[in-house]
């Protein structure tokens, strides 16, 4: 007789397999990446919006800077080979990402450093330090997009 425990284990194994297959599907990897970039963009905008206010809320800046720091550190893992615009038409990830991996890693590293500096600035609570951390951050987004992200809307 099959015990409930065995059934539960079998169900778990099946769901893990399904999960693994799902995770390897290029379209879903690209979709998850898109969600991650939306979060990344949202936390960057969250900081910018706050700084435009007459009395910026430091707590909001801190939360967004922490999220930005965490996401930026993860960015290189969002790009497994075979998930670019050549495979997933909806994606804006140019094939050059995988042709110039060192350059891509450098741009990702520049963002991670800039995001970490912003996180530290936010923790310091000094608005001038926070404002001072902005240009490197914006520059890091722009530099990578120029080389590695498709501009056309498709």
Q: Give the binding site for ligand HEC (CB under 6 A).
A: 30, 33-34, 37-38, 40-41, 44, 75, 91-93, 104, 107-108, 111, 137, 140-141, 144-145, 148-149
Nearer Cβ to ligand HEC (91/121): 91
In the complex with ligand HEC, the residue whose CB is nearer, 16 or 51, is 51
Distance (Å, whole) CA 60 – CA 58: 5
CB of 31 to ligand HEC, least distance (A): 9
> Residue 79 Cβ, how far from ligand HEC at the closest point, in Å?
7
Of 71, 64, 72, 65, the closest CA to residue 112 belongs to: 72
The torsion defined by the Cα of 94, 78, 66 and 40, in degrees rounded to 10, comes to 40
The burial of 153, by beta-carbon neighbours within 10 Å (0-12 exposed, 13-18 middle, 19 or more buried), is given as: exposed
Number of C-beta neighbours around residue 3 at 10 A:
8
Whole-angstrom Cα distance, residue 41 to residue 23? 23
Rounded to a whole number of angstroms, the minimum distance from the CB of residue 62 to ligand HEC is 16
- Smallest gap from Cβ 153 to ligand HEC, in A, equals 8
State which residue, 6 or 149, has the beta carbon closest to ligand HEC: 149
Nearer to ligand HEC among residue 9 and residue 113 (C-beta): 113
Q: Which residue has the tokens 């379209």?
A: 27
């Amino acid at each position: 007789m099959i015990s409930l425990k065995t059934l539960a284990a079998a169900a778990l194994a099946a769901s893990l397999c399904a999960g693994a297959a799902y995770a390897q599907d290029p379209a879903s990897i690209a979709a998850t990446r898109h969600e991650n970039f939306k979060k990344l963009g949202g936390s960057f905008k969250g900081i910018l919006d706050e700084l435009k206010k007459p009395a910026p809320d430091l707590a909001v800046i801190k939360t967004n800077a922490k999220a930005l720091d965490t996401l930026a550190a993860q960015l290189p893992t969002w790009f497994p080979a075979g998930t670019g615009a050549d495979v997933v038409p909806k994606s804006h990830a140019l094939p050059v990402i995988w042709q110039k991996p060192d350059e891509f890693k450098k741009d990702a590293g520049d963002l991670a450093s800039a995001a970490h500096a912003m996180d530290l600035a936010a923790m310091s609570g000094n608005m001038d330090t926070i404002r001072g951390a902005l240009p490197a951050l914006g520059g890091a987004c722009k530099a990578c997009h120029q080389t590695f992200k498709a501009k056309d809307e498709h």
